[in-house]
Amino acid sequence: AKQQHKQAIQERRLQSAATRAEKAREVEERKAARVAARKAAKEEQARKRAEQAAEKATQQASKLAEATKRRQEAAVRKKQSMVAKEAKESAAQSKKRRLVEEEVVAPRKRPCAKLPTHRDKQELMNHITSHHINNLENGIMNDDAPVFPHDAQSAIEVAVGRRARKPSQKVRDNQAAQEELQGPLQSEVLAVLQELKKRMMAMETKEELYRAKEEAYRARTIELEEVHKGEVKKLEDLVKTLQLDIASLKEASPYWGQSLDEQGLQGTMMTLDLKSLDTEVMVECNTTVKMRDRLEKALRSSRGLEQLEVRDFKMWHTSETVKVARFLVPKEESLIRQNAGEWMPAHLRGARLIGPKWYSLKVDWVEKSVAAEAGTSRMSADAGRLFGHENGVDVQQIRWLGTPKPQAQHASAIVRVATKEDAEKLLNARLEGRDVTFGGGSVTVFSVVNSLSNQD
């Protein structure tokens, strides 16, 4: 029944390991789903921001175009009104000239200056041509003779004067207003276009940064997925290894599932740290049976241990940092530890033999004159033996807690005992009405939470 109970415990452990692997796989799937959802949400947000920016830029461009169009229409209307006004003034002047020619009104003393029309120019050219022809026919070659008649000459002088005269103040004001209107309009258009160009460049830069971040995030996600897949694979391999170890232990050990008392085994339980074991040895001894055989061969290679038999061998590979093996040996523990420097490097390179577990206690009110060497403050070599003899415990080590003050009479010490029973005996002495002494004087014992171990 106990064997079946042990087997049930191992099966439950296997089930729990498989459950952990399944949970890890589910966690990985949920993480991947969350990552995909976040990625989709970010892409949707980026798309919406791009659409909003494009819409805003389009609205600004349309507003700018409307404002430009309104300014251009206003300038065109102003120009049309000026042209109409000039046409009206020209018509009024023409009417006045016609009335003067018809002698309806008296002419002005000063002739109105006007530019010669195409008809006037043609008449003038005809007159010049006929004048030269007449002179040639009559044989007159007088350079001083006037070429133009008096009226034509007066009209040309007036036209030249009119052409050389500056435009009126009203015309100059209209021209200045048009220039003032066109200058700010062009500068505003250029400024808006430059601002739009800057915004577009900034948007492109942000989009490139966002793409780079997306690529980095995607690469990190893929890397994390690979890491999680590797962890799941390791858990699955661990489950398979545990199954093989249990199967090999059941096959190799007839005492599987029984305690040490039931098996009638006596001896010392020792522990090996396999975390730094050589890779070749780890690959070669990939099962519990192979590792036990190699350890037994290594121990038997030492003198005096040729007939040693390793019993109750177990291995734990719970993680990358916890890889240990425990085994039971007869009474040859001291000889095994003494020869560890020979058999361990030869057969188990990188392994480390963990020493026996000690239990630490704090002892106050230790008299310095009794525990220290004469003339110094160093702990005496016989202090541990004295403390153990007086209180009936096995003391493995004793040392001062810090450096004692030279003028102090008492100090505190750390005492390490071999067994848990000895530690409880010292701690429960006051409750049982007994005194813990050191050199005849009473001392106070306190527990230390972390027990220490001596590692070879």
Q: Which of 200-214, 294-308, 313-327 shows the lowest mean pLDDT across its residues?
A: 313-327
Residue 414 has what pLDDT? 93
Q: What is the mean pLDDT of residues 58-78?
A: 86
- pTM of the predicted model as reported, rounded to 2 decimal places: 0.33
Average pLDDT, the chain: 78
CATH number assigned to the domain with residue range 260-354, chosen from the 4 options 1.10.10, 1.10.3470, 3.30.70, 3.40.50: 3.30.70
Backbone angles phi, psi at 150, to 5 degrees: -65, -40
What pLDDT digit, counting tens, does each position of 352-375 carry? 888 777 888 999 999 988 888 888
Task: Please determine whether the domains at 260-354 and 359-447 fall in the same fold group of CATH.
Answer: yes
> Tokens 């232990």 sit at which residue?
249
Residue ranges per domain, the chain? 1-113+165-233, 260-354, 359-447
Amino acid type, 448: V
Q: In which band, very low, low, confident or very high, does the pLDDT at 181 lie, cut at 50, 70 and 90?
A: low
Task: Render pLDDT for 73-116 as a digit per residue (tens, 0 to 9).
Answer: 888 888 888 888 888 888 888 887 877 777 655 555 554 555 56
Select 359-447's CATH number: 3.40.50.1460, 3.30.70.1820, 3.40.50.2020, 3.40.30.10: 3.30.70.1820
Rounded mean pLDDT, 265-293: 82
> How confident is the model over 432-456, as a mean pLDDT?
73
* Interval 235-274: pLDDT, tens: 888 888 777 767 766 665 555 555 444 455 566 778 888 8
pLDDT tens readout for residues 195-217: 888 888 888 888 888 888 888 88
φ, ψ at 344 (rounded to 5°): -75, -50
Given this model, what pLDDT does residue 366 score?
A: 92
